[in-house]
């Protein structure tokens, strides 16, 4: 009655993927066998056993600070992740509550109730996403079991110089030894270091949108490291979920809200990354703005090109540098990146344009500040740390309109 066809499946075994072939019967009526990670045409009992085996082999994930925007995005992204299962969620002010009561859009997720950090049991956890505010994260991470893999979404481990951290964040660093261990997790730039790390300092949203286009150009000596001007705009979710007068609807709606002029805390993070690329001190002019939208980020960057370089050179280098990357996309020439085209996704769209001023270029980079600018990049990093394909759980198509 049937013919034999081969179906490539993937078996997950704690960080390693082993391909094997199952022979399945395809009926004469349905001659098309589709390649997939799960054999949908296999007998129901076989499917159940495979799914049960997969579930037992999942990495157990803790989300610290699950009641904030970045925490909820982690949970959303993990909802369809085949290799990660949330076994712990903390939220001190929401302890004892379900995630659905705090975020109704997650009401169908079968997850443990949130607990206070002090009551958290890490014996059933392999890795942690830390989505807590800066300043509180250091001591909490310092007290976690050393066996855990950690991706920290706060700013506490991003600045290598703890003195600089104290200058910009107004308090001394309380985990100097851990700071030495932390790896800055700009995925496309530091992939080898991330793969072998235990603690990742996940980049900030503005620094991600700025460094992805600039670091390759600086390393290639195609732009000058002086007179870099960065004009960045973010959705209000970038300011967090806590109640603040400046973030009220009537304060933000129908206007543009500039803030942190010359003193935004992402400045030293941006300059650290660019200085490392240039192998010399880089100082930038950076001005952020809140826009009347919930999410999305655009950085418009004005640069002076190196002598003899052209916008065509800049474009070609970025094209070559990111040619094989999944999430960083250089658009076709003259196409303008827009935040609405990355909403809800882990993509960064960018492009290069000639300025009217000779010798200068304009670079536009857009991301979703909560995904590529936070939780999506965090998941990309943990995938790498756990030895699984880094795009796992991140192939959501942008939401439009």
Q: How far apart are CA 301 and CA 288, in angstroms?
A: 12
Q: How far apart are CA 56 and CA 206, in angstroms?
A: 38
Q: Which two tokens stand for residue 218?
A: 């600086």
Strand order in the sheet with 328-330: 257-258, 284-291, 228-235, 297-304, 360-367, 348-354, 328-330
Q: Which residues contact 256 (CB under 8 A, 6 or more apart)?
A: 233, 289, 290, 291, 292
Catalytic residue among 26, 33, 130, 205: 205
Which of 18, 17, 19, 270 lies closest to 7 in space, CA to CA?
19
Residue written as tokens 């085996």? Answer: 53
**309, 258 contact by CB (below 8 A):** no
Using CA atoms, how far residue 234 sits from 18, 296, 342, in Å, is 42, 6, 13
CA quadruple 375, 380, 385, 389: dihedral positive or negative? positive
Using CA atoms, how far residue 122 sits from 63, 119, 289, 376, 393, in Å, is 11, 10, 39, 23, 23
- The yes-or-no answer on residue 205 being catalytic is yes
Q: Output Rg (C-alpha) for the chain, integer angstroms.
A: 23
CA quadruple 160, 301, 391, 155: dihedral positive or negative? positive
Which residues form the catalytic set? Answer: 205
């Amino acid at each position: 009655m049937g013919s034999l066809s081969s179906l490539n499946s993937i078996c997950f075994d704690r960080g390693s993927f082993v391909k094997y072939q199952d022979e399945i019967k395809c009926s004469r009526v349905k001659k098309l066998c589709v390649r997939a990670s799960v054999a949908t045409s296999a007998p129901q009992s076989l499917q159940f056993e495979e799914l049960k085996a997969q579930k037992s082999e999942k990495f157990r994930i803790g989300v610290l600070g699950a009641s904030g925007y970045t925490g909820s995005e982690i949970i959303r992204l993990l909802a369809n992740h085949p290799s990660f299962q949330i076994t712990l969620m903390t939220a001190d002010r929401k302890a004892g509550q379900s995630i659905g009561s705090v975020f109704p859009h997650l009401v169908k997720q079968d997850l443990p109730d949130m607990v206070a950090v002090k009551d958290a049991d890490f014996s059933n956890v392999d890795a942690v996403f830390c989505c807590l505010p800066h300043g509180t994260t250091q001591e909490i991470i310092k007290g976690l079991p050393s066996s855990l893999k950690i991706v920290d979404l706060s700013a506490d481990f991003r600045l290598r110089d703890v003195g600089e951290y104290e200058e910009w964040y107004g308090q001394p660093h309380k985990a100097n030894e851990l700071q030495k261990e932390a790896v800055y997790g700009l995925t496309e730039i530091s992939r080898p270091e991330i793969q072998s790390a235990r603690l990742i300092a996940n980049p900030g949203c503005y620094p991600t949108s700025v460094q992805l286009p600039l670091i390759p150009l600086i390393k290639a000596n195609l732009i000058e490291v002086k007179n870099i001007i960065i004009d960045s705009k973010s959705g209000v979710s970038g300011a967090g979920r806590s109640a603040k007068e400046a973030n009220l609807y009537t304060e933000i709606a129908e206007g543009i809200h500039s803030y942190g002029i010359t003193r935004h805390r992402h400045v030293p993070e941006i300059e650290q990354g660019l200085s490392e690329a240039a192998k010399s001190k880089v100082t930038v002019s950076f001005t952020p703005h809140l826009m009347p939208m919930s999410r999305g980020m655009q950085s418009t960057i004005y640069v002076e090109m190196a002598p003899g370089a052209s916008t065509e050179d800049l474009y070609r280098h970025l094209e070559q540098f990111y040619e094989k990357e999944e999430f960083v996309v250089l658009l076709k020439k003259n196409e303008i990146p827009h935040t609405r085209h990355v909403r809800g996704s882990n993509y960064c769209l960018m492009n290069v344009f000639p300025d009217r001023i000779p010798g200068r270029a304009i670079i536009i980079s857009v991301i979703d500040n909560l995904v590529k600018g936070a939780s999506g990049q965090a998941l990309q990093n943990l995938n790498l740390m756990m030895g699984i394909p880094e795009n796992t759980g991140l192939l959501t198509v942008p939401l439009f309109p």
